Amino acid sequence: MFVYITSGTYEFLKEIKSKHKKENLLLMENLEKTVLLQETEGKKTVFASPRKFEVVDQRGELPERGFVVLDNIPVREEDRPGFEHRYKKRADAIEKEPGFIGLRILRPLNSDTYVILTVWQNESSSSSWKNHFSSSADKSTNTWQDLNKNIFSGPPYVNQYKLGLRE
């Protein structure tokens, strides 16, 4: 499974989505940015120059509506196997959380930045998970903040979007 992500104006990306109704395309936006995500079995994309990823692990669905969190984590090449193992363990815990809809662990194909994509029913579900997770007794599977900083090739960052905001 592969995921491709591109950005542009809402109108432009909405037009791409309308032209490719048979594709699994998700239109996401926040106050600053609009992105279109394509999830597909093959390596062919409808985008001209997307960010490209292979799905390492997946749980649940990617629906038309919800709240999306993209944890962008640049990881050094030699540390990728350990990083993926850690996040696969984390996936087991997250799918039991109230409000959880979907998760994709995305290995970059044309960069060093992994994306941990989670979809929630709403922003409060995501916040509840984040608060619960950061205060939980099991710190062994906690987020990127507690990982050995030497595995990073750059600073991690988070993007948050809403699905189906204008649809």
34: confidence class by pLDDT, cuts 50, 70, 90: very high
**CATH architecture type of domain 50-163:** 2-Layer Sandwich (3.30)
Helix/strand/coil (H/E/C) assignment for every residue in 61-104? CCCCCEEEEEEEEEECHHHHHHHHHHHHHHHHHHCCCCCEEEEE
All residues at 6 or more sequence positions from 84 whose CB lies less than 8 Å from its CB, including other chains? 56, 57, 105, 107
Q: Which residue type, as a one-letter code, is found at position 14?
A: K
Counting residues of the chain whose pLDDT is more than 70, the rounded percentage is 89
Position 113 pLDDT exceeds 70:
yes
Q: How far apart are CA 160 and CA 148, in angstroms?
A: 24
Position 135 pLDDT exceeds 80:
no
Q: How far apart are CA 94 and CA 73, in angstroms?
A: 18
- Which structure tokens are listed for 47? 């985008």
3: confidence class by pLDDT, cuts 50, 70, 90: very high
Q: What is the mean pLDDT of residues 48-52?
A: 95
Residues 55-96: pLDDT tens digits? 999 999 999 999 999 999 999 999 999 999 888 888 888 888
CB 146 within 8 A of CB 136: no
The predicted pLDDT at position 144 comes to 44
Residue for token digits 């990823």? 53
The predicted pLDDT at position 93 comes to 81
Residue for token digits 């992105």? 35
What is the torsional sign of CA 160, 5, 150, 143?
A: positive
119: confidence class by pLDDT, cuts 50, 70, 90: very high
Residues 17-26: pLDDT tens digits? 999 999 999 9
